[in-house]
Amino acid sequence: MSTDFEQDLRLSLGSAEPPTSAMPELSVVLDQGNRAVRRQTVRRVVVGTAAVAAVAIASATWGPTSGLKADQLPGASTPATGVIPLQPFTANDPVGTTTVAGSFDVQRRILTITVGGEDPTVTPTIMPTITVPEVVTAPIVSVAPGRPDVITVLPAEATDIDIDATPRMRHAGTLGAALGAPALGFAITYAVLSGPARSDAAVRSVSWTTASGQRISTLGDRVDPVTVSLADGREASMWVLDKAGVLALSGPVKGEFFTIRLGDFVDSLPLVYAGQGNSANSQVSWFAAYLLPAGATDATVTYLDGFSPKTAMILTPAPGGRTFAVLDLGATAKDVKPIRTFTWRDAAGVVHTEKP
Amino acid sequence: MFGIRREEREAAFTAFMTSASPSLTRTAWLLTGNGDAAQELVQAALVKTYVAWPRVRDGQALAYARAVLVNHHREQWRKFGREASVDETPEPAVLAELRSPTATSDDRDQIIRLLDHLPPQQRTVVVLRYYADMSEQAVADQLGISVGAVKSAASRGLAALRPLASAAAPSAAESASTTTPTSREGTLS
């Protein structure tokens, strides 16, 4: 029999008013949901059709074991050449269990990290690749545009890792043990941003404890956000973390964020950074962003099909005296096309053509 | 491949989410007591529901999403430990005051402070029984525990809440002794 107290409790619980901020956004849910559906679909396609070839390529590239002998795994010995898989580890994010795996090209020192889902056989999302220096002394951060995942490469000795990010990190330092490749001289951590999966995964600092117990907390080149004026008169905030290899652009529309993985061209053109970001809202155009030497002008993009969109070019002074160019690709996430070339003119008038 | 076309899925899910979000958000808020955590919880539940949408039976979407939400909350609690307890004891409050038409949202937050005193399982049972209005059997099925455990948790939860509410509202308790059966505002037990 229901008591008066129970009735009052029912009414009180029913009248509780959660803060309006607790209500999820439809666009974010649909975006995440469609991404998850896509991963399932891709996996089915792989399994159902080109299974042999796809699996062979995948396992050779980032498969967790791919037929390697035990002494080839990190922690045993450091092979001199070849692409070796890293020991996968699992982490828990707000949407479920995530498997973090990857491979390391020893000769080229290129680290490729993949983030999977609850189903370990689902085709994982590949994070932006990282070029790892011979000796890791500062943190290197990899953020995939539009995803909440943050990969950090740290010195192998790092413990008690903490990440200060915008938006706040959830379970930073505890998600995924600092596994990875200690025998290779670095450790990899995985963390996930709290709240809705937005693209402004801007890591401000990374802290860790060294083997001697010293606490280090820095990215070394933290740059406070600067306000940039866009071509159409609107303003946005931007900040660049060179060592982290992250450029983040906030705005101009409220709630619009872009995180751009820098460094794609670093090897060949140290002064030119490039990356591509997309908004959390899939209906918003994709952008290409470039950080160019001071005085650069005439940045243009040409698609693979030869079409050159009428870009909303934005040139503005960027931190370090450089020039920041954002080009509206005029395409949504649904129909974005690969970029064939990117050209720009330096201060001396010389035209440079880059192929991403 | 998707079972249904993406546009159809999005359209149907949008309608569902529009209608179900308030209830799911309130459930998440009652379970967590934290706006950010509630948002994460609801979002995770809705994303999983969206993925499973072709398999969700007509008329069962809300129940499905709520089940996902509760399971996800329990998983999170198990993995990441006990929720942070409040530093301060709950402000004096009576349930009748909380549902008063003149009550402010701050007043209504006090129900959260009361719930914060309950262990996770008791809190979950209380929310499912007395907010979601689920039967003891349904709660047992949802949580994977026996009906007896549900009864026990509900009983202990109410026993814990009652003195907290009563002790905090002496004036209301006094007035309760003079109210008629048809006017129970202020009555706590």
Domain ranges of chain A: 28-197, 221-356
Determine which of A82-96, A135-149, A296-310, B100-114 has the lowest per-residue pLDDT on average. B100-114
> Cα A170 to the chain's mean position, in Å?
16
Handedness of CA A92, A264, A199, A121 (dihedral sign): negative
Nearest residue of B to residue A45, measured between CA atoms: B1
- Tell me the nearest-neighbour CA distance from A189 into chain B, angstroms: 17
ipTM of the prediction: 0.72
Tens digit of pLDDT for each residue in B113-141? 888 888 888 999 999 998 888 889 989 88
Q: What is the pLDDT of residue A241?
A: 56
Nearest residue of B to residue A22, measured between CA atoms: B39
Question: Rounded to an integer, what distance in angstroms lies between the CA atom of residue A329 and that of residue A356?
Answer: 15
Mean pLDDT across A172-178: 39
Nearest residue of A to residue B158, measured between CA atoms: A6
Question: Rounded to an integer, what distance in angstroms lies between the CA atom of residue A154 and that of residue A177?
Answer: 12
Q: What is the pLDDT of residue B8?
A: 80
The DSSP 8-state label assigned to residue B176 in this structure reads H
Peptide bond into A167 cis (omega under 30): yes
Q: Could B51 and A29 be called an inter-chain contact, meaning their C-beta atoms sit closer than 8 Å?
A: no
Q: Could B158 and A8 be called an inter-chain contact, meaning their C-beta atoms sit closer than 8 Å?
A: no
Mean pLDDT across B170-188: 35
Quickly name the fold that domain B1-84 has: Rna Polymerase Sigma Factor; Chain: A (1.10.1740)
Q: What is the pLDDT of residue A112?
A: 78
Give residues 220 to 259 of A whose Cβ lies within 8 Å of B: none
Residue B8 falls in which region: left (phi positive, over 0), alpha (psi -120 to 50) or beta: alpha
Question: Rounded to an integer, what distance in angstroms lies between the CA atom of residue A85 and that of residue A103?
Answer: 4
Contact residues for A160 (Cβ-Cβ < 8 A; gap 6+): A173, A207, A208, A209, A215
Tens digit of pLDDT for each residue in A52-100? 222 222 222 222 222 223 233 333 344 455 778 777 777 665 556 677 7
Mean pLDDT across B13-32: 90
The answer to whether A97 contacts chain B (CB < 8 Å) is: no
Q: Is the pLDDT of residue B152 over 80?
A: yes
Q: Is the pLDDT of residue A135 over 70?
A: yes
Q: Taking the CB of residue B83, how many other CB atoms lie within 10 A of it?
A: 17
CATH of domain B86-189: 1.10.10.10
The answer to whether A38 contacts chain B (CB < 8 Å) is: no
Determine which of A11-20, A92-101, A134-143, A146-155 has the lowest per-residue pLDDT on average. A92-101
Of B1, B17, B131, the CB nearest to A14: B131
Q: What is the pLDDT of residue B128?
A: 92
Q: Between residues A75 and B107, which one has the greater pLDDT?
A: B107
Give residues 289 to 348 of A whose Cβ lies within 8 Å of B: none
Q: What is the pLDDT of residue A141?
A: 73
Spans of all domains in chain B: 1-84, 86-189
Q: Could A30 and B26 be called an inter-chain contact, meaning their C-beta atoms sit closer than 8 Å?
A: no
Q: What is the pLDDT of residue A328?
A: 57
Q: Could B187 and A4 be called an inter-chain contact, meaning their C-beta atoms sit closer than 8 Å?
A: yes
Q: Could B43 and A32 be called an inter-chain contact, meaning their C-beta atoms sit closer than 8 Å?
A: yes
- Tell me the nearest-neighbour CA distance from A14 into chain B, angstroms: 6
Q: How much of chain A exceeds pLDDT 90, in percent?
A: 0
Strand partners, A303: A339
* Mean pLDDT for chain B overall: 72
* pTM exceeds cut of 0.90: no
Q: What is the pLDDT of residue B168?
A: 55
Residues of A with CB below 8 A from B133's CB? 10
Handedness of CA B128, B133, B136, B138 (dihedral sign): negative
Is the Cβ–Cβ distance between A125 and A39 less than 8 Å? Answer: yes
Nearest residue of A to residue B76, measured between CA atoms: A94
Of A5, A29, A37, the CB nearest to B2: A37
Strand partners, A162: A207
Q: What is the 3-state secondary structure (H, E, C) of A73-120?
A: CCCCCCCCCCEEECCCEEEEECCEEEEEEEEEECCCCEEEEEECCCCC
- C-alpha distances out from residue B132 to A48, A74, A330, B94, Å: 42, 50, 46, 21
Is the Cβ–Cβ distance between B175 and B187 less than 8 Å? Answer: no
* Mean pLDDT for chain A overall: 60
Q: What is the pLDDT of residue A293?
A: 74
Tens digit of pLDDT for each residue in A249-284? 555 554 444 444 444 333 233 233 344 443 333 333
